[in-house]
Amino acid sequence: MKQLLGGKGANLAEMTSIGLPVPPGFTITTNTCADYNAAGGQMPEGLMDEVKANMAIAEKELGKEFGSATNPLLMSVRSGAAVSMPGMMDTVLNLGLNDAAMAGLAAVSSNRRFALDAYRRLINMFGDVVMGVGHDKFEEQFDLIKAKYGVELDTDLNEDGLDELIVAYKAVYLDHTGEEFPQDPYAQLEKSIEAVFKSWNIPRAIRYRQINEITGLLGTAVNVQSMVFGNLGVDSGTGVAFTRDPATGENIFYGEFLINAQGEDVVAGIRTPQPVSEMVEWKSDMYDQLLEIKATLENHYREMQDIEYTIEQDKLYLLQTRTGKRTGLAAVKIAVDMVTEGRLTDKEALLRVPASDLNQLLLPTFNPDAPRDVLTRGLPASPGASAGLLSFSADEAVERTLKGETVLLVRKETSPEDVSGMHAAAGILTSTGGMTSHAAVVARGWGKCCVAGAGEIFIDEGKRAVTINGRTFGDQDLLSIDGSTGEVMAGAVPTQDPQLSEEFVTLMEWADRCRTLQVWTNADTPQDAERARGYGAEGIGLCRTEHMFFEGDRINNMREMILAQNEADRRTALDKLLPHQRKDFHGLFKTMGGLSVTIRLLDPPLHEFLTNDKSIQAELAQALGLELETVRTRIMLLHEINPMLGHRGCRLSITYPEILEMQVTAITEAAITCEREGIDARPEIMIPLVGTHKELDILRQRTEQRIALTKKAMNYEGNLNIPVGTMIEIPRAALTADEVAAHADFFSFGTNDLTQMTFGYSRDDVNTFLPDYLNQEILEKDPFQSLDTSGVGQLVEMGVSKGRSVNEDMKMGICGEHGGDPASIMFCHNAGLDYVSCSPFRVPIARLAAAQASVAQEKITKL
């Protein structure tokens, strides 16, 4: 009944209806608000009569009287539309207090200061929220009186001060409204209800509805609810609790309480609360009642609840219940336990765990109880918790790691040249670059901890030191970085290892039973592949061959190849790279035996492999028999203004067919060798950056010729079949997917580049404006993290339907970063893809998200 009662009202009613002790009250419907506005701001006839009748019920239930000078009933008034609208009126508390009632409250609570404080709050709130007197006008008086009494904190002001304050507040009220503060409690209540009605059409509420496209609502409901107090003596108290342990998921009643206190005292941390289990010693009947409430709530909501309760003079009231926040670990355990308990079906349980939260289960984390000396905060680029000595270059990171040191690689930003150092380091910290910077993407791919774009870090490579907010750290100093929060901390914060729970395994089994979408992985090395397979990956959707060219000597051969003067020299250099590639592929095929390994041919622009280091350039020049100047000039000529849109991807294979030939030879040789060793190698060759069907036509032919030649050279006569497919990552490829499909065995949507080109955003530069775009709500999410379904998604859907119009059964997948993002996985499932490919550490997340997509679709189909 949200439409009629508003969200808050409906929830209060629901709790009441399942027998929970909620402070009595009533809700004035949204219809009434509509009537008020339709009548041009006239309170509907008979409304206050109904209000009074309902007040009588509350008075009777609580044994108090509204406005009473002995045992006064206090009320709160809150707005509450069917959709949550933070732009609307705030709450008015303590309604019903006047001079007489204040004295009554003082007496009944044996706490005159409390009663005075409640009264001054009412005058302030009523004046501000209902009558439009500026809050600052009251604050001015408060400051004067605090100064007079020589106190700093509001809570330090004594009863005399509060007496004086109430006089001053009443004067402010009179001064700005022209009326005395109303002593008639029903006058207070009526004006408050009317103020809530009016608040429906104040400009900021209208604007809020416009911005959030909220339409079709009648108005706001008004919740009139009695106040209860946990600070009316030692038989009163207050607490917050979870129906299960939110950190571990254990099925225990978990929480805290304070005797003779108000709810805000628990939160504010002024007093230290006791564990809820100790309530037994104080009031065991109340504790038993709470345990009953736990059961009732979980039976009703079938979900772990987070509650607030107050005991007013031995009477328990539930003030709020809501779904409790929990860690990933707890989410999994609770979901699985609730299936065991018969509360949920396994499919429902799958929907209960936010897939991304599995991340927390898979990575080491800092011990949450350990102290943290936080220096600054960067972007949480790749989860994990790492501590290490500082190293300032990739080479240094490699060298010191070999010596047995644990180091963090600290760089302004990273580039492909740095990968060996990045791989060696325990974690990566950069001062520039965003969530999708090179450092971030590579680190996530490896599940390596990374904090990126920590702008307050000043790196002085010359001095081998970083300065962070005035503190300087050198190469023998330890820093810790938290990839889940972006925190950078001094020293080594202790970590704890993840343990995969039984419940995790169970949940994954259910997920695998449910899902239709396969989960593959992006992996370039046998180590990555093995890890991913351990996490349940069903194939490699993207093996980036370029990472293979940076290790050891290879980078020199690669550079010789790039700088070669002619095809013959190029081939000589490539011949040196061939055995390395073959070995790499052999390792991958072996690890992934029986599963597809999709190998992307060389993709990045060649200058990414070069270096500005003069001494390396000199070595190169010597190796190639060239003048240093010639080498430098050629490196300069390879520089591009927009390398992202330049000479890369399949364009390299068009202009330098010998690179493709080397790679295809290495793949075929490795596959044949595997077969002869009894390993079921299943390579697939993927041509990147195709924009026209003719590129694929030509390169597929070259690839197949080379496969045939290699088979012949190896006297191979078996059935090895190497499918040849393409990435769809250029808008034009998606637009003309029917033409492209004629030459492809499979499509793999490269949504990183597709997003770059569809939006016209360079991933490397987007941080200059993306923060503004998110702040101004131009974009809901970073489109590099979660697939833009309305724009980029159209191209993916177009690619799928046009591709399948030519080849009905064509295998289609996605291998962009989005393959590990749950919302994007949902999209991929609905778009009819066969698989998503993501980094090894995200494989479990993707398995769960894929299952959730299936369950969600089933639900819709059932409707």
* Span from 223-231, 403-411, 548-556, 758-766 in contact with a copy of itself (CB under 8 A): 758-766
The reply to whether 762 sits near a copy of itself by the rule CB under 8 A is yes
Q: From the list 291, 370, 644, 823, which residue makes contact with a copy of itself (rule: CB under 8 A)?
A: 644
Q: Nearest Cα to 787, choosing from 830, 834, 745, 840?
A: 830
Q: From the list 295, 618, 769, 858, which residue makes contact with a copy of itself (rule: CB under 8 A)?
A: 769
What is the DSSP pairing of strand 835-838 with strand 811-814? parallel
Please say which residue, 52 or 463, places its beta carbon nearer to a copy of itself. Answer: 463
Catalytic residue among 33, 423, 438, 829: 438
Residue 663 and residue 602 in contact, taking contact as beta carbons nearer than 8 Å: yes
Q: From the list 576, 651, 702, 804, which residue makes contact with a copy of itself (rule: CB under 8 A)?
A: 651
**Whole-angstrom distance, CA of residue 613 vs CA of residue 192:** 73
Could you give the 3-state DSSP secondary structure of residue 238?
strand
Please say which residue, 134 or 455, places its beta carbon nearer to a copy of itself. Answer: 455
Whether residue 639 lies in the annotated active site: no
**Whole-angstrom distance, CA of residue 306 vs CA of residue 124:** 31
**Whole-angstrom distance, CA of residue 544 vs CA of residue 562:** 18
**Whole-angstrom distance, CA of residue 92 vs CA of residue 126:** 6
Could you give the 3-state DSSP secondary structure of residue 381?
strand
Which residues in 695-734 contact a copy of itself (CB under 8 A)?
A: 695, 698, 730-732
**Whole-angstrom distance, CA of residue 56 vs CA of residue 187:** 16
* Span from 24-32, 226-234, 527-535, 756-764 in contact with a copy of itself (CB under 8 A): 756-764
Q: How near is the Cβ of 411 to a copy of itself at its closest, in Å?
A: 15
Q: From the list 56, 57, 778, 858, which residue makes contact with a copy of itself (rule: CB under 8 A)?
A: 778
The reply to whether 797 sits near a copy of itself by the rule CB under 8 A is no
Q: From the list 135, 325, 513, 694, which residue makes contact with a copy of itself (rule: CB under 8 A)?
A: 694
* CA distance to 57, 64, 91, 329, per residue, from 54 (Å): 5, 14, 20, 46
Could you give the 3-state DSSP secondary structure of residue 687?
strand
Q: How near is the Cβ of 170 to a copy of itself at its closest, in Å?
A: 42
The reply to whether 431 sits near a copy of itself by the rule CB under 8 A is no
The reply to whether 827 sits near a copy of itself by the rule CB under 8 A is no
Please say which residue, 273 or 453, places its beta carbon nearer to a copy of itself. Answer: 453
| Binding string, residues 345-384; x marks residues near a copy of itself by CB under 8 A | ----------------------------------------
Q: From the list 4, 492, 735, 856, which residue makes contact with a copy of itself (rule: CB under 8 A)?
A: 735
* Span from 327-335, 465-473, 538-546, 759-767 in contact with a copy of itself (CB under 8 A): 759-767
* CA distance to 154, 240, 273, 288, 513, per residue, from 277 (Å): 33, 12, 12, 10, 40
The reply to whether 804 sits near a copy of itself by the rule CB under 8 A is no
Q: From the list 795, 810, 833, 855, which residue makes contact with a copy of itself (rule: CB under 8 A)?
A: 795
Give me the half-sphere count of Cα atoms (radius 13 Å) on the Cβ side of residue 796.
Answer: 32
Assigned token pair, 12: 């209060």
Q: At what angle do helices 614-624 and 554-563 cross, to 10 degrees?
A: 70
The reply to whether 632 sits near a copy of itself by the rule CB under 8 A is no
Assigned token pair, 142: 């408060």
Residue 288 and residue 279 in contact, taking contact as beta carbons nearer than 8 Å: no
Which residues in 653-692 contact a copy of itself (CB under 8 A)?
A: 654-655, 689, 691-692
Please say which residue, 148 or 639, places its beta carbon nearer to a copy of itself. Answer: 639
Q: From the list 272, 615, 642, 719, which residue makes contact with a copy of itself (rule: CB under 8 A)?
A: 642
Q: From the list 100, 465, 709, 779, which residue makes contact with a copy of itself (rule: CB under 8 A)?
A: 779
* CA distance to 42, 63, 75, 98, 186, per residue, from 128 (Å): 22, 31, 17, 17, 18
> How many residues interact with a copy of itself (rule CB under 8 A)?
48
Token pair 């990566």: residue? 428
The reply to whether 777 sits near a copy of itself by the rule CB under 8 A is yes
The reply to whether 643 sits near a copy of itself by the rule CB under 8 A is yes
Residue 309 and residue 316 in contact, taking contact as beta carbons nearer than 8 Å: yes
Q: Nearest Cα to 796, choosing from 840, 761, 760, 752?
A: 752
**Whole-angstrom distance, CA of residue 776 vs CA of residue 688:** 35
The total number of residues shown for the chain amounts to 863
Q: How near is the Cβ of 651 to a copy of itself at its closest, in Å?
A: 5
Catalytic residue among 449, 674, 815, 828: 815
The reply to whether 322 sits near a copy of itself by the rule CB under 8 A is no
Whether residue 815 lies in the annotated active site: yes
Token pair 């997003």: residue? 755
Interface residues toward a copy of itself, by CB under 8 A: 640-647, 651, 654-655, 689, 691-692, 694-695, 698, 730-732, 735-736, 739, 753, 756-762, 764-766, 768-769, 772-773, 776-779, 788, 790-792, 794-795
Q: Give the residue numbers marked as catalytic.
A: 438, 815
